[in-house]
Structure 1
């Protein structure tokens, strides 16, 4: 097996598990908050958004730092650091005595992560140009599938073993990912001993500044779109089916529908991006996503919602690999880690903004307004991409 394929396989497993860990709290978070002593429904919604969002907010701050470290000391050490650190944090989450300790650990989790950034940079720089679109497209399925399949896993574990077992099992899986990364990943890397550059110095070295800004902001909007509904999904499903048992499991299945279709679509759309251009794929995906959010506000039961989330996954499957491919094409290799770090930082900011925004909108207005706002953001982003990227890409690149 070629080294790039083995690295891709190991990174896929690790990113998948890390993404599960980042998202697995979504369906159980309201239940865990109640378990820790909070009973008020509106307060639970707002705390869910804050707790879920704080991890990504802190991650957004640290992601460029870890991206720069990956360019300086290597990507494999960054993967190992994040893997063992996350394993320890999830273990501790299972022992928190109250919601304040949970918030603190979520903040720590955000500070030590960077798993996906390091893996994306490793694959982008260690894979030949002929296969990089396929490799990044495949790797993107790990992140989004883990993020959206994670709630199902946590729902099943919560229903069978209890809410605390969710954290213990994810901790163990991350430790396994750490071990296989240590043993199997190979990296050809020349250590860079040059003085670290500031953000402004790095920005001055970026050749396509306008395209880079639009691509990074698009990833920010994608984060909002994917996670604006996560903090409220369990309660939305409860509203749609108030007498159902195993609400966490049903909510997880709704999330998983998007992850399943994303797994199917992302590698194929990654290849399609190599053939017809990532700028074309991203335009279509943004428009389709904007359309599919609207009917989710009008569903009458969880199974209608599940179908729409499944269809949404096909659109989302075209966004992440296309963004990664576009960054790779317009960014020099010596800046790849840092630009991917900035990209992940904005993505995590989008997740934090979406999580907090979704929780606040649902708590103050209604669940339906979350879908309206998210749809509007997708359409606005599509218009911006059309004028700033789509019409210029073939000329510039």
Structure 2
């Protein structure tokens, strides 16, 4: 078996590429619907954008526990290969569509088979030694953030100069390249013997019990849900809001890419710093601070009057929102037995993608009923509620640990 650092480095590169690939095409989907598929009515465009952005998240939320269970039972590496290669095939079909319902079907199917971040997270948690898990997951999240930064920047340029259909093909190509890197240079940490028949069903039922029997894990799932809801709520209307701020600019795709890219870059910086230093402050305290700061910095976005202001304020908020993710993953890593991490991360992905599915719907409806700016207020409220829940749950957790007279490694 390869040294874990070489194995992990290849995984980190592949996952960064995969996320960048998705980042190329996902942000320009509303523009694809408007300018390529001919949806001109603003209200209709908002609704279609929200539904399509949410569709893959819904199906991903439903299928993630199944893939997580199979990762524990069979092969974590195989689950990552499945997500990358099938994702590449499905995205390559989107440029062939000529109606929004066709895009909706493909995005729905896409959600059933992708989920590279959760698959890579489970694999990274298994590859890294126990003492290095928090750092490995923090670096992986940094790679995800870098991918989210570079993808929209590159996608905006490709969209403006070559067209949105070409942008989807670029996504497909990069996903295939990422899959080939995993196929050639990444190895599984373990290869458990697969169960058969009824044993698999019992295993899934038992694994579900692990989540719902733990108040701590349930609280973490709820926070994960809220983080993704607050992050994705702006997704379907951001290009439209940028177009409003840009006052007729020809380069809306590039401007949107800059807003998303700079925000993702600050997220990458946050995940690196948090992954490295959060253990000194304490994971729970760091999580609470990040959620509260994200709440406070989301409100001023209501009052922006140009793209520069939006970019600055959004990047500041995303620094703290992004910083919360590796802390949450680290708490899971040190709380859950390694042979059950696949299913737990799978359920975390389900809750996360349920939030990612609900967010665009909330954003679209809020923008349609009120205004684009009101979406930022809703974002702040969600993060503030999450911080409050985390404070409450931490107190309960520490009290329980104190009663058990056990040391608390994640306080």
Distance 2:244 2:376 in 1: 15
Is the 1:231–1:358 contact (alpha carbons within 8 Å) kept by the matching residues of 2?
A: yes
Distance 2:326 2:348 in 1: 13
Is the 2:118–2:346 contact (alpha carbons within 8 Å) kept by the matching residues of 1?
A: yes
Distance 2:305 2:154 in 1: 25
- After superposition, the Cα gap between the structure-2 partners of 1:127 and 1:168, relative to the gap in structure 1 and judged at 3 Å, is same
TM-score for the superposition, normalised by structure 2: 0.92
Aligned equivalent of 2:95 = 94
* 1:111 equivalenced with 2:112 (yes/no): yes
Q: How far 1:37 moved relative to its partner? A: 2.4
Deviations 1:44-72 (A, max 9, x none): 11111110110111110111111011001
Aligned equivalent of 2:12 = 12
Q: 1:290 aligns with which of 276, 279, 295?
A: 295
Is the 2:23–2:155 contact (alpha carbons within 8 Å) kept by the matching residues of 1?
A: no
Q: List runs of 5+ in structure 1 lacking aligned partners.
A: none
Distance 1:327 1:284 in 2: 18
Distance 1:13 1:42 in 2: 40
Deviations 1:253-293 (A, max 9, x none): 01111111111121221122233321111010000000011
Distance 2:399 2:285 in 1: 11
Q: How far 1:371 moved relative to its partner? A: 0.8
Is the 1:157–1:166 contact (alpha carbons within 8 Å) kept by the matching residues of 2?
A: yes
Deviations 1:90-142 (A, max 9, x none): 11111112211111110111011132222111111221122111110011123
Any idea what SS the aligned residue of 2:189 has? Answer: coil
Aligned equivalent of 1:374 = 379
* 1:245 equivalenced with 2:250 (yes/no): yes
Distance 1:190 1:166 in 2: 37
- After superposition, the Cα gap between the structure-2 partners of 1:49 and 1:206, relative to the gap in structure 1 and judged at 3 Å, is closer
Distance 1:57 1:22 in 2: 17
- After superposition, the Cα gap between the structure-2 partners of 1:352 and 1:342, relative to the gap in structure 1 and judged at 3 Å, is same
Any idea what SS the aligned residue of 1:130 has? Answer: helix
Is the 1:285–1:319 contact (alpha carbons within 8 Å) kept by the matching residues of 2?
A: yes
Distance 1:52 1:147 in 2: 16
Aligned equivalent of 1:264 = 269
- Structure 1 window deviating more from structure 2 (305-314 vs 148-157): it is 148-157
Q: How far 1:14 moved relative to its partner? A: 2.8
- Structure 1 window deviating more from structure 2 (242-251 vs 59-68): it is 242-251
* 1:31 equivalenced with 2:38 (yes/no): no
Aligned equivalent of 2:340 = 335
Distance 1:394 1:22 in 2: 42
Distance 1:336 1:145 in 2: 25
* 1:48 equivalenced with 2:53 (yes/no): no
Distance 1:90 1:344 in 2: 21
Is the 1:3–1:186 contact (alpha carbons within 8 Å) kept by the matching residues of 2?
A: no
TM-score for the superposition, normalised by structure 1: 0.95
Aligned equivalent of 2:3 = 3
Matches within 5 A, 1:124-273: 124-194=125-195, 195-196=199-200, 197-205=202-210, 209-273=214-278
Is the 1:36–1:99 contact (alpha carbons within 8 Å) kept by the matching residues of 2?
A: yes
Distance 2:361 2:63 in 1: 19
- After superposition, the Cα gap between the structure-2 partners of 1:132 and 1:215, relative to the gap in structure 1 and judged at 3 Å, is same
